[in-house]
Amino acid sequence: MTYLQICQRFRQEAGIAGTGPASVALQTGESKRIVDWVNSAYEDIQLERTNWFWMRDDFEFNTTIDQFEYTPLQAGITERFSNWDVNTIKSFRTSIGVTNEFEIGELSYRRYRSIYLTGFQPSGTPIIFSISPSLNLLLGPKPDDVFTVSGQYWKTPQVLSVDGDVPEMPSQFHMLIVYKALEMYAYYESAPEVLARAIKYINRYKNRLELNQLPDIELPEPLA
């Protein structure tokens, strides 16, 4: 569903008289509340978890010799950067190619500073990375050649703004946005029956969404 279609479906579920809204733009009064509730509902869903699959994207960039710190923009990420997925960072020497690719390990920023930002540091093959307090990607040691670094990152929430915007969340779960907005409406109207119905369907759709869009829990290996 589009942003507008979700707003229209919400109005139907809420039993609000009339038709529409005909557009999400330039609304006032009750129609504006409908538009705002839907947008807020979708934002809340996106912020509820930090690791939704649909909020990940890929990055890849080539390093510069002797440069150890890279901003998201320098890594080719031009918008909606939230954080790095630290479980996905890989690298290979560009001149050799992807057959040379390997995963690089993570160090805490404090440990990284102690090892790689203290005293003279020779260049070499980056074998670890860290994340700076400003969310830049740090490589260690600093590269002595051009390396191709790739991985995934988490995106900030998508903001719906025009009629035809489609939530990036998988379409089979768009009704969750409707019922989250209905929950907000129920609190606004002090409507306990509407609230109960909204919560019932929120729980149903959220359980399905979590099964579909969250990684499996990995249990530790048993001790020998």
- Kindly report, residue by residue over 71-84, the tens digit of the pLDDT: 999 999 999 999 99
pLDDT digits (tens, 9 = 90+) for 168-220: 999 999 999 999 999 999 999 999 999 999 999 999 999 999 999 998 765 55
Using alpha carbons, select from 87, 133, 90 the residue that is nearest to residue 113. 133
What would the DSSP string read from start to end of 20-65? --S-STT--HHHHHHHHHHHHHHHHHHHH-S--GGGEEEEEEE--T
Q: Is 56 exposed, middle or buried (0-12, 13-18, 19+ CB in 10 A)?
A: middle
pLDDT of amino acid 224: 54
pLDDT of amino acid 174: 98
pLDDT of amino acid 223: 54
Tell me, what DSSP letter sits at residue 214? Answer: S
pLDDT of amino acid 113: 95
Using alpha carbons, select from 32, 52, 25 the residue that is nearest to residue 153. 52
Sign of CA dihedral 151, 157, 159, 164: positive
In whole angstroms, how far apart are CA 126 and each of 38, 104, 133, 147? 45, 8, 20, 8
Residue spans per domain, the chain? 3-51+169-213, 57-155
Rounded to whole angstroms, the Cα distance separating 130 from 107 reads 5
- pLDDT under 70: residue ranges of the chain: 217-224
